[in-house]
Amino acid sequence: MLNYDDFTPFFMNNMLAELSLPKTKKDALDHYLWSFATESGKEMMGVESFEDQLRVLKNIPLDFQVKSFRSTIKNIKSFKSKLKKLNTLYAKGDIKQIFRMSKKSMGKIRKMMIYDRNEHMSARILEITANKPAFIALGAAHLVGKKGVLSLLKKEGFTFRMMR
């Protein structure tokens, strides 16, 4: 049964974003990766639970959510244009620009939506990788910046190399 309390303006905004993106694949990338790993018999766990994500969404002030959703509806062309630009940046692998755009769009909820979650995800990655190697998939906006997951993990001794 659907819980309509979870259908906040911010949730609806995200649904609208998903519907506005071009469908180039059958599944979203995160769903594809999860399915591929499951079918390959890999142990699966998340750096954030669904409950963690829902808790964050429920803590976004309602006035901010309503203002954001109204802006989306009033400026649907601009909204779709920004989504298209993010999609293009993602295809080019320009995670720094994705981070900048995401950070700017978050305004006063930036700390809650990006930085606090980065801290949580970094701690979770440290737990997951303490005794075994792992493949970790995160949203591009969480990777870079002084408070990004990569920077936080580097402070803990992780090293990274770019693969193409």
Which pTM value belongs to this model? 0.81
Residue 109 has pLDDT above 60, yes or no: yes
82 and 21 Cβ atoms separated by less than 8 Å: no
**119 Cα distance to chain centroid:** 14
Residue 135 has pLDDT above 90, yes or no: no
* Of 98 and 160, more confident: 98
Beta-carbon count within 10 A of 82 CB: 16
* Of 10 and 153, more confident: 153
Q: Which amino acid is at 149?
A: V
Of the given ranges (12-16, 41-45, 93-97, 113-117), which has the lowest mean pLDDT? 12-16
Q: For the segment 143-163, what is each residue's pLDDT rounded down to a tens digit?
A: 999 999 999 999 999 988 777
Torsion of CA 85, 62, 50, 36, to 10 degrees: -20
Q: Given this model, what pLDDT does residue 1 score? A: 54
Residue indicated by tokens 């669904």:
50
Alpha-carbon distance 14 to 86, whole Å? 14
Query: Domain boundaries in the chain?
Result: 4-155
97 CB-side CA count, 13 A: 12
